[in-house]
């Protein structure tokens, strides 16, 4: 896949500290590890003067449309890969949607790389191989020393050059650099990353995150259930295109949703995957 990139222009602008260096990766991923095909979307790595951010491109597109047309529409990123950190740091601020809330939690994610002498050419650039184990998976990265950013997709950083390609050995997650841009100023994400279209991220810890996720799993339609309990049995609720008329039908829908949650339980950090009851 051709990379839209001008090397000389990048070097000229590296010293201009107010700029944002944007690297767009195509992510192919499996929501269910048993599937043969991949979902595809673009992810953005923004490297600014003081911070590095990684998030789905659709978040930025929705924010741009809102500002252009005066809208107030929202978008929920379901990748579980929205993070930011200080430059040259392994300390990440993670952002996640749970139930109807938006939350942030901190992690330290040191990555130890084994750098190989193996190299290859891609679009005229020399890439060097490196491997690591992170998040319960084994990973292979190909990085370019000619681009002096020690960064890459998600939390993957610490190599002597930008990561161009990254994948785990089972090919559940595959990243390929497809475009590089330079933005004239520090790019603001305050409306869709630090807050999610009006919902400011609430700081929590890992224990609180686990509790919130389990509460959602145990009763994903708690709000609808509460409405049923307050009604006189004449309430009708639409869930995923299906009309729900009573609590028994809601219970059936709850079981179906729980099956979906268990099926698509394939996070990038598999060692932190939730263990849901059957």
CB 24 within 8 A of CB 177: yes
CATH class of the domain whose range is 7-199: mainly beta
Whole-number pLDDT of residue 220: 93
| Average pLDDT per block of 10 residues along the chain, 278 residues long | 54 60 98 95 97 97 95 92 97 94 97 98 95 98 97 98 98 98 95 95 96 96 78 70 85 94 97 94
Nearest to 33 by CA among 109, 111, 137: 137
Whole-number pLDDT of residue 231: 58
Whole-number pLDDT of residue 17: 63
Domain boundaries of the chain, sorted by first residue = 7-199, 219-272
For residue 173, the tally of other CB atoms under 10 A from its CB is 24
Whole-number pLDDT of residue 8: 45
For residue 33, the tally of other CB atoms under 10 A from its CB is 13
Q: How much is the pTM?
A: 0.91
Whole-number pLDDT of residue 243: 86
CA–CA dist 163, 269 (Å, integer): 19
Whole-number pLDDT of residue 229: 64
CB 166 within 8 A of CB 23: no
CA 2 to chain centre: 23
Whole-number pLDDT of residue 5: 53
- DSSP character at residue 188: P
């Amino acid at each position: 896949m051709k990379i839209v990139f001008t090397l000389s222009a990048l070097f000229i602008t590296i010293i201009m500290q107010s700029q944002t260096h944007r690297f767009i990766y195509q992510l192919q991923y499996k929501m269910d590890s048993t599937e043969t095909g991949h979902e595809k979307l673009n992810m953005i790595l923004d490297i600014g003067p003081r911070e590095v951010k990684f998030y789905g491109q659709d978040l930025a597109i929705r924010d741009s449309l809102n500002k252009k047309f005066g809208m107030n529409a929202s978008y929920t990123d379901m990748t579980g890969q929205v993070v930011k950190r200080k430059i040259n740091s392994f300390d990440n601020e993670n952002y996640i949607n749970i139930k109807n809330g938006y939350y942030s939690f901190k992690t330290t994610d040191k990555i130890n790389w084994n750098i190989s002498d193996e190299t290859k050419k891609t679009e005229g650039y020399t890439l060097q191989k490196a491997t690591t184990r992170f998040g319960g998976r084994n990973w292979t990265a190909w990085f370019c020393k000619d681009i002096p950013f020690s960064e890459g997709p998600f939390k993957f950083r610490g190599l002597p050059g930008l990561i161009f390609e990254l994948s785990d050995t089972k090919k559940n997650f595959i990243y390929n650099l497809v475009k590089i841009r330079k933005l004239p100023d520090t790019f603001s994400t305050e409306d869709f990353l630090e807050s999610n279209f009006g919902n400011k991220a609430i700081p929590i810890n890992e224990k609180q995150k686990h509790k919130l996720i389990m509460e959602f799993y145990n009763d994903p339609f708690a709000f609808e259930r509460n409405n049923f309990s307050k009604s006189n049995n004449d309430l009708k609720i639409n869930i995923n295109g299906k009309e729900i008329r009573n609590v028994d039908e809601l219970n059936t829908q709850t079981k179906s949703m729980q099956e979906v949650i268990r099926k698509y339980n394939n996070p990038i950090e598999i060692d932190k995957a939730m263990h849901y009851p059957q």
